[in-house]
Amino acid sequence: MAATVARTWEPNTIAQRAAAAATENLWVTAAYLIGSMIGVVAVLSLLGMVLIYVERKVAARFQCRLGPTRVGPFGLLQTLADTLKLVFKEDFVPEMADKFLHMLAPFLALLVPVVLLALLPYSPSMQVADLNIGILFVTAIGGFGVMGILIAGWASNNKWSMIGAMRAGAQIISYELSATLALLVVVLFSGTMSLSGIVQSQQDGWWIWRGHAAGFCAFMLYLIASTAELNRTPFDIPEGESELTAGFHTEYSGLRFAFFFLAEFINMFTVSALTATLFLGGWMPFHIGDWAALNSQMDLIPPIIWFGAKTSAVIFIIMWFRWTFPRLRVDQLMHLEWKILLPIGFANLLLASIIVLINAYPFPLELPQ
């Protein structure tokens, strides 16, 4: 492997390859499409299981417990067993529920992370589609995620579900603002909205440190806001067990409940992957400006490993939050967003635009003319 040779980080997405093949052979295109569909399903289920297992183990370690140990070596098959159990459980729909919407909601909830999975650049040659409006698309789709939850709460015809869904709606819509403000900072820095373009713009250094305080601040903002969008503790008021039984998925059971569960964990992955892509350089190895010696050493590690490591680190941080912090009350949650995070977000955006204006960051970017 001639890894030390200067790499071209030219992205080559599956969509591009399929489009290129379309002119010659439709079968190859079909193969690409079917292949990526199977890939998405495989990645989904595998990711879900791995993440749930990891979450349980990590949670256990944080609380001085052992976590699953019985099923399979180190309890590795525990999630599989749980999945099987969920698959065989009765799929119960309440009598007075809106049957169609009740059925639809879990799919809507799962749709969002699945679509986002297709946008993520895993490595230069592994990305399903690279949209030139990537960030815009991500925010639009991310905001759509609340539909599944709202519909679930509405269709269940249960006051707890309804309250949980309403809370989720309020929370997600509020925190969407901060998250978008943080994303805008990165868009400012890199001058592009395409996700792989953003990764490439970090060739000289990741935005988290290259953007001075603004980069770091945006990173923190995005981390907090996206944790809130994930409905995870400390922002888990939509499904507060103590006051709302299980919130919007109270009335769900069996496979449909599993869908919500899966959506939650895949969401966690996509959010972490996005954080890694935007602030930590995605698949881009750790580079510092023109330090060729360091850069070429870092290039030895394949991009997919860089991507995986960064994403896992962010996932770990999110789990760490969950098992450390106390929950927020509803009003505190709104207070945090509207009175603290949002002003900080605006100020941060201003700061970032000044930095970009005077091109103040180390190793200034040569914007394509």
Partner 1 sequence: MGMIQATQIVNEERPIAGKTVSVSVVQRLRPPTRFQVALLGMQGLLQGMWLTLTYFWSPVEVVTREYPENRDSLKITERFRGNLRFKFPNEVAHQTHSALLEQIAQETQTHPEVAENWIRDEDDTRWYHNCTGCSKCEEACPNASIRILTRHGEILDDREIDRFVWRLDSCMFCNACVLACPWDAIEMTGGFENAVFDRRLLVYSLNRLAAPRINLIQDEQDPAVRARMIDWRSRYGGPIPLGGTGLPNLPAIGAPKVQECPVSHAGSTAVAP
Interface contacts to partner 1, rule CB under 8 A: 58, 60-66, 69, 320, 323-325
User: Which residue lies nearer to partner 1 by CB, 156 or 275?
Assistant: 275
In the complex, least distance from residue 340 CB atom to partner 1, rounded to whole angstroms:
8
Shortest Å, Cβ 54 to partner 1: 13
As a whole number of angstroms, the distance between CA 71 and CA 81 comes to 8
Q: Which is nearer to partner 1, 234 or 282 (CB)?
A: 234
Nearer to partner 1, 63 or 132 (CB): 63
Residue 66: CB minimum distance to partner 1, A? 4
Least spacing, CB of residue 122 vs partner 1, in Å = 27
| Closest approach of partner 1 to the CB of residue 325, in Å | 6
Query: Cβ of residue 57: shortest distance to partner 1, in angstroms?
Result: 10
3-state secondary structure the chain: CCCCCCCCCCCCCHHHHHHHHHCCCHHHHHHHHHHHHHHHHHHHHHHHHHHHHHHHHHHHHHCCCCCCCCCCHHHCCHHHHHHHHHHHCCCCCCCCCCHHHHHHHHHHHHHHHHHHHHHCCCECCECCCCCCCHHHHHHHHHHHHHHHHHHHHHHCCCHHHHHHHHHHHHHHHHHHHHHHHHHHHHHHHHCCCCHHHHHHHCCCCCHHHHCHHHHHHHHHHHHHHHHHHCCCCCCCHHHCHHHHCCHHHCCCCHHHHHHHHHHHHHHHHHHHHHHHHHHCCCCCCCCCCCCHHHHHHHCCCCHHHHHHHHHHHHHHHHHHHHHHCCCCCHHHHHHHHHHHHHHHHHHHHHHHHHHHHCCCCCCCCCCCC
325 vs 346, which CB is nearer to partner 1? 325
Give the nearer residue to partner 1 in terms of CB position, either 144 or 316.
316
Of the pair 284, 328, the CB lying nearest partner 1 is at: 328
Kindly state the smallest distance separating residue 321's Cβ from partner 1, in Å. 8
Which residues, other chains included, contact 78 with Cβ-Cβ below 8 Å and sequence gap of 6+? 53, 56, 68, 70, 71, 72
Pick 128 or 336: Cβ nearer partner 1 = 336
Q: Among residues 57 and 287, whose Cβ is nearest to partner 1?
A: 57
Query: In this structure, what token pair is assigned to residue 123?
Result: 């490595």
**Least distance CB 67 / partner 1 (angstroms):** 8
